[in-house]
Chains A and B, each alone.
Chain A
Amino acid sequence: MLEIQALSKHFVSGRGHISALTDISFSVEQGKGVILAGRSGSGKTTLLNCIGALEVPDSGAVVYNGVNICTLSPRQRTLFRRCEVGFVFQAGNLLPWLTVAENLQFPLELNDIRGTAQQRRIEELLATFSLAGYEQALPAELSGGESQRIAFARAIAHQPALLLADEPTASLDSSNGRQLMELMFSLCRTQGTILVIATHDQELMAMTDTVMALKDGRMEKKP
């Protein structure tokens, strides 16, 4: 269970004091998905970063399974991300000097999944995302759709409890984007993963019942 409680975050920049998030609260159950919708600059990415322990909010709490991750030390937050979170960023988030297999190996190594278990998991992921035979390909040799499929495969490789995706279909055509997201929703339901997607893609919003609309860092509609 993921609970966001009265989350607020502001930044100070050359433009002055910017409220990125103001009093955001909602909760998501295991195996469910939620979409954070809103225009660019509405606070979607900041909210994802707070949920994924990449950033610490100024106030409020992100409670996962009873633990407020905002109170963890930097090292504990890193280990939380390592074990519990899978990230899918916008285009270009594969490590360019690692092959497809090595990119998938990375989160498995971080989580001490090695040897035959590691090999089996990589093969399983490649088969699930229809990328068998691409093991030795470098990211530069893949199409945008293939790269994003690998990014999803890498994000769920270590079977995280939370999958966070920031504009995951931005670089894909609508057909590829829909197929990939259907696969993701299905996998998350099967594995009990909480899926949080930040997007302004209308098609994606139709794929889940829970859409959180953000505007200027404030929530427009409660789930």
Chain B
Amino acid sequence: MRLTFLCNIAGLMLWRSWRTTAVLSFMVVSAVAALVFLSALAVGTNDAMIRNSTGLFSGHIAGSGIREADAPLPQLPGVKQVLVRRQQQALLSANGRLEPVLLMGVDPAQEQATTAYWKKTVAGAFPTAHEEALFLSQETAKRLQLSVGSRVTLVNPQGAAVKPLTVAGVYKTGITQLDQGLAFCPVGVLPTGPTELSIAVFLQADAPLEAIAAQYRRLLPSAVFTPWTEFMPDLKQLIDLDSICMAIVVTLVFAIVSVGISCAFLIFTLKNLREHGIMKAMGLLSGDTALLLVAQIGMLTVAAAVVGTLVGAATVAVFAQIGIDISAFTSHNQYFSVSGVLYPRLTALALFTPPLAAVVFGLAAAIWPIAAIVRKNPADILRSV
């Protein structure tokens, strides 16, 4: 028997029993749409954590051991911005107290255009380019009993005063590495003396992290370039864990949905038991009967998976524009220190895994109804129905 004819019959069975088909399809459509959205949301959550963590200060790639002669670094394809920072060990003296800090000389305009730590200001403001001022963490300000407008003195390791500065602003990020032992000032204010160059490379969305880091390593073999996956291994693990959880969710949901489809399809098939008996009596081979049922469930799941994917993608498109604000639940989470708004994002994996799983599990769900019909003798069917 021609496959096209069998498929045609399978299609007609579905089309002309459209109410049953619609009910069966709804289960698959809703599962696929929900999982496309959930997958995109998981990607969006990972994006937000990476964006927040790297965008705050460090960038996607941190470079150290850069020589003066190497700066400024070339801007490679996929790189949005490269911030050069000069750092110097220093002591801050105020109110009879001393506090060791790593003083970062930065270009305020560039920092404000690219990073977000300056937005975490709790008092005062980020200093301007020519201001003889410091931007201190709340922790350091507290230890030195300083507030905005206070005077503080830079002291060299020998204890001699080097430069007086004013506190322009106080910040608090909630991240220990930034909130302790770090102070910022315009690069021109940095006292003369030995400085070290460091860079923060900010990448465009979807730029290949490891490849760009490797390119920089090739360009400057003497420097060290570390991608965020290495200097924030906890975040890397969290994202991997998120991916594993999502894979488990997809598998579990479709395992459950496939049992539902199998039960519903068995009922649908048994409802047409007499017709299957008639077709078998007329000479439809067991293989053809199995193929007919596979074609039916295949068509149903493929069509429903396509619709579900479109519904899911449309929902993602809407929420990718407006975002989902979960700030209320992330205020104490360092990975959401800049913004608690999630923007679901579709990737090939997020878009195609749920429909593919639906089709695979749907076809697996066909085994039970097929076995139920194929092993039945047509005479028994016609006698019993």
Contact = CB atoms under 8 A, between A and B. Distances in A.
Interface stretch (A22-30, A86-94, A171-179): A86-94
Interface string A104-141: 00110111001000000000000000000000001000
Contact of A110 (B13, B17, B284, B382): B284
Contacts of A54: 281, 377-379, 382
B383 interface: yes
A78 B277 CA distance: 12
Contacts of B285: 75, 78-79
A96 B275 contact: yes
Contacts of B1: 109-110
Contact of B282 (A55, A75, A97, A106): A106
B280 interface: yes
Nearest to A85: B283
A95 B17 contact: no
A89 B278 contact: yes
Contacts of B281: 52, 54, 81, 87, 89
B5 interface: yes
B379 A55 contact: yes
Interface residues of A, number: 29
A189 interface: no
B218 interface: no
Contacts of B97: none
B2 interface: yes
Contacts of B219: none
Contacts of A55: 377, 379
Given A54-B378, A81-B282, A82-B282, A109 B13 contact: no
Nearest to B288: A110
Contacts of A111: 283
| Interface range on chain B (Cβ under 8 Å from partner) | 20 to 34
A118 to B, nearest CB: 11
Contact of B283 (A74, A82, A93, A102): A82
Given A95-B275, A97-B16, A78 B283 contact: yes
Contacts, number: 66
A98 interface: yes
A93 B12 CA distance: 17
A83 interface: yes
B279 A109 contact: no
B274 interface: yes
Contacts of B274: 92
A122 to B, nearest CB: 14
A87 B280 CA distance: 11
Interface in B350-385: 377-379, 382-383
Contact of B280 (A45, A78, A79, A109): A78
A98 B379 contact: no
B71 interface: no
A79 B285 CA distance: 8
Interface in B1-41: 1-2, 5, 9, 12-13, 15-17
A148 to B, nearest CB: 14
Contacts of A75: 285-286
Nearest to A55: B379
A81 to B, nearest CB: 5
A81 B13 contact: no
Given A102-B12, A109-B2, A110-B283, A93 B278 contact: yes
Contacts of A82: 282-284
Interface of B: 1-2, 5, 9, 12-13, 15-17, 274-275, 278-286, 377-379, 382-383
27 contacts: A45-B383, A49-B379, A52-B281, A54-B382, A55-B377, A74-B286, A78-B280, A81-B282, A81-B283, A82-B283, A82-B284, A87-B281, A89-B281, A93-B278, A95-B275, A95-B278, A96-B16, A97-B12, A97-B13, A97-B15, A97-B17, A98-B9, A107-B283, A109-B5, A110-B1, A110-B283, A138-B16
Given A89-B382, A97-B17, A109-B2, 19 more contacts: A49-B379, A54-B378, A54-B379, A54-B382, A75-B285, A79-B285, A81-B282, A82-B283, A87-B278, A87-B281, A89-B278, A89-B281, A98-B12, A102-B12, A106-B279, A110-B1, A110-B283, A114-B2, A138-B16
